[in-house]
Amino acid sequence: MANQTTHEDIRDSVRKRYARAAGEQESADGASCCDSSCADVDATSLGYSAEDIAAAPEGAEMGLGCGNPIALASLQPGEVVVDLGSGGGFDCFLASNRVGPTGRVIGVDMTPEMVSKARRTADGKGFENVEFRLGEIEHLPVADDSADVIMSNCVVNLSPDKPEVLRESFRVLRSGGRLAISDLLAVGPMPDEVRADLDRYAECVSGAVSAEELEGWLDDAGFVNVTVAPTDATVDEGPWVAPFVIEARKP
């Protein structure tokens, strides 16, 4: 069909939403600002502590997640972490504190405005063990067998090719490396008009898949010790989706 939605249509819709959220309007002193409307969720309702929020640079927490992958990841000093869809860098900056100066955190995001925002924060606050790379999570700009942990916060949902995201994650992880993902999954039938709505896709709704589908793709990618479980995080994205945690290991 001539009007069939393509993967690039989906990426464009997602990219535009998160470019707006990045608030790339420079003030007179060169700092970026984010419109308050982009803060959709209170981070404490997702499992972050007040200490976590206080430890992150101002403006990094943008209220765009659906859980706390940092708590899930159990990060250790010296580990290399890749964050899929790093946005303003909130989870990357928290991970930086946990892996310490001997560790490394790489944030990957396809939205130039988000990458620019995160880089400015990292440079301005002296985060020497964090870097942000522009790229799609289906084609990670990260070397084979180079990461101990891959984390993500409500971003795999946004990909039009989720099996490829998981294959790429498997490629990048070292043997014994692990996934620690918070995401929204489908928990009931979704109306066709919602499934077809690109705005709802960019809001992490219409691209949601079932836990069973995701488990199958993780198995196909080669992961073991797969766990896909619902959480009690608070989100308000309609009755068709709910927050889950996804854990797995590369043999």
Alpha carbons 129 and 102: distance in angstroms, whole number: 8
Question: Would residue 227 count as lying in a domain?
Answer: yes
Closest by Cα among 177, 163, 160 to 216: 163
Tally Cβ neighbours within 10 Å of residue 192.
9
- pLDDT: which is higher, 58 or 206: 206
Question: Would residue 87 count as lying in a domain?
Answer: yes
Angle at 169 between CA 46 and CA 196, to 5 degrees: 65
Pairing type for strands 25-26 and 32-33 reads antiparallel
- pLDDT: which is higher, 16 or 155: 155
Alpha carbons 161 and 207: distance in angstroms, whole number: 10
Q: Domain with 197 in it: what CATH number?
A: 3.40.50.150
- pLDDT, one tens digit per residue, over 42-100 is 676 666 767 777 777 776 666 667 888 999 999 999 999 999 999 999 999 999 999 99
Q: Which of 28-32, 82-86, 178-182 has the lowest mean pLDDT?
A: 28-32
What is the amino acid identity at position 144? D
Alpha carbons 208 and 201: distance in angstroms, whole number: 8
Question: Would residue 43 count as lying in a domain?
Answer: no
Question: Would residue 85 count as lying in a domain?
Answer: yes
Give the total number of structural domains in the chain: 1
Question: Would residue 151 count as lying in a domain?
Answer: yes
Is the whole model's pTM more than 0.75, yes or no? yes
Question: Would residue 45 count as lying in a domain?
Answer: no
* Domain around 206: 7-35+50-59+66-249
Question: Would residue 123 count as lying in a domain?
Answer: yes
Question: Would residue 109 count as lying in a domain?
Answer: yes
- pLDDT, one tens digit per residue, over 99-143 is 999 999 999 999 999 999 999 999 999 999 999 999 999 999 999
